[in-house]
Amino acid sequence: MCGLLGLLTARADAPDLSTAVTSALHCARHRGPDETDEWHDQDVVLGFNRLSIIDLDLSHQPLRYADRYTLLFNGEVYNYLELREQLIAEHGAEFATQGDGEVVVAAYHYWGKDAVRRLRGMFAFLIWDERERVLFGARDPFGIKPLFVLTGPGGTAFSSEKKSLQELAPSLGAGALSLDEPALQHYLLLQYVPEPATLHREIRRIESGTMFTLRPGEQPVTERYFSPVFSATPLAGPTERDRLYRRIEDTLRDSVAKHMRADVTVGAFLSGGIDSTAIAALAKEHNPNLITFTTGFEREGYSEVDVAAESAEAIGVRHVVRTVKPDEMMEALPLIVWYLDDPVADPALVPLWFVAREARQHVKVVLSGEGADELFGGYTIYREPLSLAPFEKVPGSVRGALGQLSRRIPEGVRGKDLLRRGALSLEQRYYGNARIFRDGELAGLLRSYDPRRSHTDITAQWYRQSAGWDPVSRMQHVDLFTWLRGDILVKADKMTMANSLELRVPFLDPEVFAVAADIPLTEKIYGRTDGSGTTKYALRRALENIVPAHVLNRRKLGFPVPIRLWLRDEMYGWADDIITSSQTDHLLDLPAVRRMLAEHRTGPVDHSRRLWTLLVFMLWHGIMVEDRIRPEIPEPAYPVQV
């Protein structure tokens, strides 16, 4: 887990740009505080910040291979030992290190670009081929590790951190970076900026599951190598169901075993839910001295500390708790937003930053349960197609009338939202797991609001790909390309790397996905057809002998944050100050935002998520655009090995 910065020039002037690359790399030093190095020839500059996890003494980067290639590799490949043996057996490959990075570049040397499909792991990498004068790169299937790209007259640069590209932009002749107004509208709809966009029009993201080649002076040629497909068929009977449960358990156990490969201490995050508990329990099989970490708040209903502690005791691990107070959140938020690169208005990322900071005092790597809900059908919203199934039998004209009726029903009246959503098709009503403002609700708030923009700009292509699937599989597919890679994985990467901590996610493994893709609908949402059935049913059955009974059928909270209460009390003045001082009036109707805050304080309307989304953007704008807010960036100071 590290930070890379690679620049392919258009003018063969790479030596003149090496100092600029080194400088831009410095603002990503938290991603790799153990080593920093740079390599260049006439066409390319490759810089690297290393967080040493595997082969601490030898696997330095940029890594040279076969007197031909130079590698920048961020992430981990968990099946590198098996690939290494295969490369030796089939091709007589020779290795100078014991690390996974050299296996990646050797695999490319012998197998070409198809080597990417053999990698089990999280990664973003660049390989410069001196002989062919071509840069090859790829990003992992699910988008666990980030990769940003900026092109200017002077060339194209790739980085693990967007802020590094912002600093490098003048050296590329990219000019002043501009705000991407369509991306801002989508951010306010979804609470994150969907890929491949960022809030700066000139900087984009290499999408998850893609690879590319680039030659000097040309544009990248991109190819998708991973397209997830949910293709389950009904199970014939109890024997097939039992076989499915065993397959889930065996595959997850194998994934955790491979994710435990490290030359430093590995811990685990632990909430009160089944996903993180299963990961911790399986990790304990490989590390009897496993340490787990959780966070919570001193507010009833907003903490899983007690449940997590009970789980830790049941599986026999040492447990560390970090409690977060509202004044700590207010103080830390500008720094957190700086680490984010682009705003993500998920309040759960704040306690994640605090628990990651605590964990880094004990370990260098943590495992976590991200991805289980998307793969195994865990979100409560996935039960909705069952409750709305009767509407599918109603003629379109009648459904339209029901939608009109819902608009005449006062807010807060029982059944209003059911009628509204039942009148809509799945493509119209399901944005993904986050929906802050509905299409149309931004008209009086966002000055650049364009009614032609919609959430369907983002979701339509993923619905087209999933045509003919059952509705829950289609929702999962949308979430893999929106919510998971736009919110869940961004906050996981940014908040842990802000603390020089590597986070690994064993559920997001190609082999685990292959099993999850075979699970039929009845084994995802099991039970009553009114939408109250059990989520992640097959996963729960598969884990019956692994997780404690008190967790097995419990709905997780994750790291919930009491912003609804705090914005009415402890955080009200803080929020008002942010709105008052913000220089975003050309983008937002700030008096309208202030009215929302006042309405929220007096109740009964709950504007907390919308307010948080707006406040995080204002902080981002104050830091990244106005240069008015300047959080103090701490120097990472951690030992090489923990």
Please name which of 35, 68, 73, 70 lies closest in space to residue 51, comparing C-alpha atoms.
35
Token code pair at residue 419:
């009628």
Q: Quickly state the pLDDT bin for 234 (edges 50, 70, 90).
A: confident
Is the pLDDT score of 528 beyond 60?
A: no
Q: In what order do the strands lie in the sheet with 318-323?
A: 318-323, 291-296, 266-269, 365-367, 502-504
Residue 534 has pLDDT above 60, yes or no: yes
pLDDT digits (tens, 9 = 90+) for 454-472: 999 999 999 999 999 999 9
Mean pLDDT to the nearest integer, 63-72: 98
SS3 content of the chain, % helix, strand, coil (to 5): 45, 15, 40
What average pLDDT score do residues 330-356 get? Answer: 97
pLDDT tier at 386, thresholds 50, 70, 90: confident
If you average pLDDT over residues 370-381, what whole number do you get? 95
The span from the first CA to the last CA of the chain, in angstroms, equals 15
- In the chain, the percentage of residues whose pLDDT exceeds 70 is 97
pLDDT above 60: residue 531: no
Predicted local confidence at residue 559, as pLDDT? 63
Residue 311, H or E segment: helix 305-315
Q: Above 70 in pLDDT, residue 532?
A: no
- Catalytic annotation on 2? yes
C-alpha angle 227-229-230 in degrees, rounded to nearest 5: 155
Task: Please tell me the predicted confidence (pLDDT) of residue 294.
Answer: 94
Q: Is the pLDDT of residue 379 over 90?
A: yes
Say if CB 102 and CB 62 are below 8 A apart.
no
- In this prediction, residue 182 carries a pLDDT of 97
Q: What is the pLDDT of residues 91-124, one digit of tens each?
A: 999 999 999 999 999 999 999 999 999 999 999 9
Q: What amino acid occupies position 584?
A: T
Mean pLDDT of the chain: 93
Of the CA atoms within 13 Å of residue 623, those in its CB half-sphere come to: 23
pLDDT score of 635 more than 60: yes
- Among 3.60.20.10, 3.40.50.2300, 3.40.228.10, 3.20.20.70, name the CATH number for the domain at 2-224: 3.60.20.10
Q: Is 358:324 a contact under the CB 8 Å cutoff? A: no
pLDDT at 403 over 80: no
Q: How confident is the model at residue 256 (pLDDT cuts 50, 70, 90)?
A: very high
Each residue of 417-441: pLDDT tens digit? 788 888 888 999 999 888 899 878 8
What gap in Å lies between CA 168 and CA 20, rounded to an integer?
7
Alpha-carbon span 488 to 348, nearest angstrom: 10
Judging by beta carbons within 10 Å of its beta carbon (0-12, 13-18, 19+), is residue 22 exposed, middle or buried?
A: middle
**Using CB atoms within 10 A of its CB, is residue 262 exposed (0-12), middle (13-18) or buried (19+)?**
middle
Encode burial over 586-624: b for 16+ CB neighbours within 10 A, e otherwise: ebbebeebeebbeebeeeeeebbbbbbbbbbbbbbbbbb
Q: How confident is the model at residue 526 (pLDDT cuts 50, 70, 90)?
A: confident
pLDDT band at 640 (very low <50, low <70, confident <90, very high): very low
For residue range 574-606, list pLDDT tens digits in order.
999 999 999 999 999 999 999 999 999 998 889
pLDDT of 556 reads 61
Question: Which residue among 2, 122, 312, 542 is the active-site one?
Answer: 2
Nearest to 210 by CA among 197, 220, 223, 196: 223
Does residue 530 carry a pLDDT above 60?
A: no
Q: Count Cβ atoms within 10 A of the Cβ of residue 166 and give its class: 0-12 exposed, 13-18 middle, 19 or more buried.
A: buried
Q: Distances from the Cα of 449 to the Cαs of 453, 457, 509, 521, in angstroms?
A: 8, 14, 39, 38
pLDDT number for residue 203: 98
The model's pTM is 0.95
What tokens were used for 74? Answer: 């961020």
The ranges assigned to domains in the chain are 2-224, 380-432+434-479
